[in-house]
Amino acid sequence: MFEKRTRILKAVLLIALISGACVLAGALASGCGTTSAGTPSQIVTKAIDAQGKLNSVQVNVQSDIELDVPGGNRSSSLSYKGSFEKPDHWNLTIRSSGGKSQVIISGQRTWVKLQGADVWTEKQNSSPLTGSNPDDVVASKYLKSAKNVKLVDQKDGLYHLNFDLDILSFARAFQTSGIDPALLKGKVAHVDIWVRQKGFFLEKATMDFASRLTEPVVGTLKMTTEVDFSAFNEPVSIEPPI
């Protein structure tokens, strides 16, 4: 009887050790987190590669920022929805605190039609997204800074992963304005992504960031962003409006 109990106890301990190993391996984004597509980190790499090869895609982005510092609270919201055509053509509806506008981008040229207007106006040396390269949103190269990648689940044809991300690289890709980059240096955000098992296209990404600031100003910064992709490689033609 004693020997039988000993064997049972050893079996229970073995199961516990295996389970613990899986938890640890998941934290290291390898081992028990491995799928037929590779480790979670390899899935992220494949998603970056797939996004960079897209010919066209529908994009929907919602970004909110709240900065609480001595002297008051400042918040902003920006959303844009529309089509991307390779290599650098966009047709977007942009909404912000300043209202709604239609935007067409063709290479280095940008045309804007404000809400209620009948004509398009070409904007010289400016991006309506206030950043250096809106194509970074599609290419998703900011994901290269992902750390501690973990596979949450795989269902409905999607890999769900989460990880820590350098918030500065994310903010640059998503054209975050009104925020001093010095406030973001060295800080990380929490990101969840959903990657299609077929084709490895990035279907959805959410980012949450909150940090207590101590320098160069004291306060609290909160940022949230959600980006959705659809209609991968479906035919689209974006031409200058004039």
| Residue 99 token pair | 């209202």
pLDDT tens for the chain, residues 1 to 242: 323 332 332 232 222 322 332 333 333 333 346 678 899 999 999 999 999 899 999 999 998 989 888 888 888 888 989 999 998 899 999 998 778 999 999 988 999 999 889 999 998 755 555 443 455 778 787 888 899 999 999 999 999 999 999 888 777 776 665 666 667 777 899 999 999 999 999 999 999 999 887 766 788 989 899 999 999 999 999 999 97
**Residue owning tokens 């609290």:** 220
The whole model's pTM is what? 0.78
pLDDT the model gives residue 92: 94
Q: Check if the beta carbon of residue 173 is closer than 8 Å to that of residue 132.
A: no
Within 13 Å and on the Cβ side, how many CA atoms surround 58? 6
Q: Check if the beta carbon of residue 77 is closer than 8 Å to that of residue 88.
A: no
- Rounded CA-CA distance 129/177 in Å is 9
Residue 190, beta-bridge partner list: 164, 208
